[in-house]
A = this chain, B = another copy of it.
Amino acid sequence: MRVFLSLIVQFLLIYPISAQDLNNEYKKLSVQIVKTALTDQKGYQLLKDLCAIGPRLSGYPSSYEAIDWCAAQLDSLDCDRIWLHSVMIPRWFRGETEEAFYTSTNKTEKQELNINALGGSIGTPQDGISAEVLEVHSFDELQEKAEQARGKIIFFNRPFDQSVLYSFAGYGGAVNQRTKGAIEAAKVGGVASLVRSVTSLNDNVPHTGVMYYEDGISKIPSAAVGVQDANMLSDALKDDPSLKLTLKLSCENLPEEESYNVIGEIKGTKYPQEVIVVGGHLDAWDKGDGAHDDGAGCVQSLEVLYLLKKLGIKPSRTIRCVLFMDEEQHQTGAKAYGYYASYAPEKHLAAIESDRGGFTPRGFNVTADPVIIEKMQNWLPYLKNASIDWIRKGGSGPDIARIKNATALIGYVPDGQRYFDYHHSANDVVEAVHPRELELGSAAMTILTYLISEEGL
- CB atoms of A162 and B362 under 8 A apart: no
* Cα-based distance from A398 to B387 in the complex (angstroms): 24
- CB atoms of B390 and A389 under 8 A apart: yes
Is there a chain B Cβ closer than 8 Å to A66's Cβ?
no
Cβ proximity bits A203-237 to B, threshold 8 Å, 1 near / 0 not: 00000000000000000000000000000000000
Is there a chain B Cβ closer than 8 Å to A38's Cβ?
yes
* Contact A389 B389, CB 8 Å, known A38-B162, A39-B162: yes
Residues of chain B lying within 8 A (CB to CB) of residue A34: 163, 165
Is there a chain B Cβ closer than 8 Å to A98's Cβ?
no
Residues of chain B lying within 8 A (CB to CB) of residue A436: 162, 167, 200, 417-418
Residues of A376-396 at the interface with B, using a CB-CB cut-off of 8 Å, are: 385-387, 389-390
Residues of chain B lying within 8 A (CB to CB) of residue A39: 162-163
Residues of chain B lying within 8 A (CB to CB) of residue A41: 162
Residues of chain B lying within 8 A (CB to CB) of residue A389: 362, 389-390
Residues of chain B lying within 8 A (CB to CB) of residue A418: 434, 436-437
- Tell me the minimal C-beta distance from A33 to chain B in angstroms: 11
- Tell me the minimal C-beta distance from A240 to chain B in angstroms: 30
Residues of A132-185 at the interface with B, using a CB-CB cut-off of 8 Å, are: 162-165, 167
Is there a chain B Cβ closer than 8 Å to A347's Cβ?
no
Residues of chain B lying within 8 A (CB to CB) of residue A78: none
* Cα-based distance from A200 to B34 in the complex (angstroms): 16
Is there a chain B Cβ closer than 8 Å to A35's Cβ?
yes
* Cα-based distance from A39 to B362 in the complex (angstroms): 24
Cβ proximity bits A381-417 to B, threshold 8 Å, 1 near / 0 not: 0000111011000000000000000000000000101
Residues of chain B lying within 8 A (CB to CB) of residue A434: 417-418, 421
Is there a chain B Cβ closer than 8 Å to A129's Cβ?
no
Is there a chain B Cβ closer than 8 Å to A321's Cβ?
no
A35, A38, A418: residue with the most chain B Cβ atoms closer than 10 Å: A38
* Cα-based distance from A421 to B385 in the complex (angstroms): 21
A34, A163, A437: residue with the most chain B Cβ atoms closer than 10 Å: A163
* Cα-based distance from A417 to B414 in the complex (angstroms): 13
Is there a chain B Cβ closer than 8 Å to A360's Cβ?
yes
Cβ proximity bits A34-45 to B, threshold 8 Å, 1 near / 0 not: 110011010000
- Tell me the minimal C-beta distance from A447 to chain B in angstroms: 12
23 contacts between A and B (CB under 8 A): A35-B163, A35-B164, A38-B162, A38-B163, A38-B165, A39-B162, A39-B163, A41-B162, A162-B436, A165-B387, A167-B436, A200-B436, A360-B417, A389-B389, A415-B415, A417-B434, A417-B436, A417-B437, A417-B440, A418-B434, A418-B436, A418-B437, A421-B434
